[in-house]
Structure 1
Amino acid sequence: MLRSLALATAIAFGAVIAAPAFARADAVAPAAAQQAPVAVVQTIADQLATAIEGHRDELKKNQEKLISVIDEVFLPHFDIDYASILVLGQHAREASPAQRERFARAFYNSITHRYAEGLLNYTRGRVKVLPFKGDLNDKRTVVRTQVVLDDGKLVSVDYAFRKGRNGDWKAYDVIIEGISYVTNYRNQVDAEIRKVGIEQLISNIESQGSKALDTMAKDNKDKS
């Protein structure tokens, strides 16, 4: 069961954070800009299955190639700049532009490497996109999906989307069983910045990668 939940987390959260954080939010392919939110999610699910099927052994031995595959599939569809600001929360105003860029690059690079291997277990049909009930005239909306676990159980996974100035839709958060990962990491980042300061936090993530995230998560859990 734990392995299955890890798969659901990798599939869902990987979608939001997999693209390099230094990529600009407005750097979107024309085809992606024309897609509605539901089509974006379905496109990602289909392209991910195509990219992984028949290549699992090769990708398992070469994580950097796996990361590049994830970049190609997810990059055009996510508002990385906006997601990064949400994770920093109130500290985004305190940080310099250079610090915000360094934080985004280091943080999302660490998260990408943490969840990449879990995506190797993804197969076509794992994600069921539910009928869309939102309003495309709104600036924000949610696409609801279900991830099929190894035991056949379903996990609810919602993708929060935001409409850009050009009318293109990009995801910026994922909510698994009601838990927002942006909110989850924002709480951890906030606690760590209050403890060591934003510059030290950035340095820790740059030098320690996912180990720094594990430490933040542990400290946050111990205090709760």
Structure 2
Amino acid sequence: MRTWFSAFALMAVLIFGLSFSAHSQSDNQPASQLDVLAQDLSLQFKQATEQLALLPVNERDTFAMQVVNAQLAPHLDLEFSSLKLLGKHVRGLDRQQTAEFTRLIESQLVNMYAQVLVDYKGADMSLQSLQTNQGRKFAEAAIDINKPNSEHSQLIFKFKQDTQGQWRVYDVISRHVSQLSVKRQSLVLKISEIGFEQLNHELRQAQANNI
């Protein structure tokens, strides 16, 4: 029964997101891809947090990862995120090493953003503002978070426009903390302790265990 409910809940989120996208693009004055993406993400996360509050505790992590995989992962700028995560350590790495790291880090980011989603279970979300800066190549979508018995807060999606002109998410700010920065600190420490090749080896193992 619980498995059926989880599948139904995820399907409801996906259908809601698709119907909203179709409606947005049918307006007389079409919204930009950034506008549609920001609205979609805020509404899909809103629906997900409502469903998470209804699920048993032992099903929340799995459901959140399903939502993030389906709704956020396709819009992640993994290459740019990887460069920010590696920082100075990207020097000296060949293209194959960085490409493998970029591929392996996706599951880590999905898990990290899924935990953010679980943290906001039961919250009401609404897109408050969408701003572009730095030559209009970067943007931020601020989403208001209203949760019972909690202080007002914001969830911020950070976007970068790629070479094809498409906007992609490269970081999420939760409770004033950059999730990418938190991940970078742990990765940089790992590289210093065990080296890049061993880090990639551990990421491969972690990915295999999640399959």
1:161, 1:171 within 8 Å by CA — same for their partners in 2? Answer: yes
Match of 1:41 among 28, 38, 41: 38
Instruction: Compute the TM-score of the two structures, normalised by the length of structure 1.
Output: 0.61
Tell me how far apart the structure 1 counterparts of residues 81 and 74 of structure 2 sit (CA, whole Å).
14
Q: Sequence identity, in percent? A: 20
Between the two proteins, the alignment pairs up a number of residues equal to: 177
Tell me how far apart the structure 2 counterparts of residues 205 and 77 of structure 1 sit (CA, whole Å).
21
Tell me how far apart the structure 1 counterparts of residues 55 and 104 of structure 2 sit (CA, whole Å).
27
Render the CA deviation track for 1:5-29: whole Å, top value 9, x for unaligned: xxxxxxxxxxxxxxxxxxxxxxxxx
| Structure-2 change in CA distance of 1:138 and 1:112 (3 Å) | closer
Tell me how far apart the structure 1 counterparts of residues 60 and 136 of structure 2 sit (CA, whole Å).
41
Render the CA deviation track for 1:101-143: whole Å, top value 9, x for unaligned: 3323433313433553663576687222223343596111222
Instruction: Compute the TM-score of the two structures, normalised by the length of structure 2.
Output: 0.64
Tell me how far apart the structure 1 counterparts of residues 133 and 198 of structure 2 sit (CA, whole Å).
42
User: How far apart are residue 50 of structure 1 and its match?
Assistant: 4.6
Tell me how far apart the structure 2 counterparts of residues 61 and 36 of structure 1 sit (CA, whole Å).
33
1:78, 1:172 within 8 Å by CA — same for their partners in 2? Answer: yes
2:163 is matched with 165
1:60, 1:66 within 8 Å by CA — same for their partners in 2? Answer: no
- SS of match in other structure, 2:170: strand
Segments of structure 2 that go 5 or more residues without pairing to the other structure are 1-24, 26-30
Larger radius of gyration: 2
2:65 is matched with 67
1:160, 1:172 within 8 Å by CA — same for their partners in 2? Answer: yes
| Structure-2 change in CA distance of 1:128 and 1:186 (3 Å) | same
1:91 is matched with 89
User: How far apart are residue 205 of structure 1 and its match?
Assistant: 3.0
Match of 1:80 among 78, 81, 84: 78
User: How far apart are residue 73 of structure 1 and its match?
Assistant: 1.0
Tell me how far apart the structure 2 counterparts of residues 60 and 185 of structure 1 sit (CA, whole Å).
25
2:43, 2:125 within 8 Å by CA — same for their partners in 1? Answer: no
1:196 is matched with 194
- CA RMSD, Structure 1 to Structure 2 (Å): 3.5
| Structure-2 change in CA distance of 1:50 and 1:108 (3 Å) | same
How do residues 1-224 of structure 1 correspond to structure 2 at under 5 angstroms?
A: 35-50=32-47, 57=55, 61=59, 67-113=65-111, 116=114, 119=117, 126-134=124-132, 138-208=136-206
| Structure-2 change in CA distance of 1:97 and 1:63 (3 Å) | farther
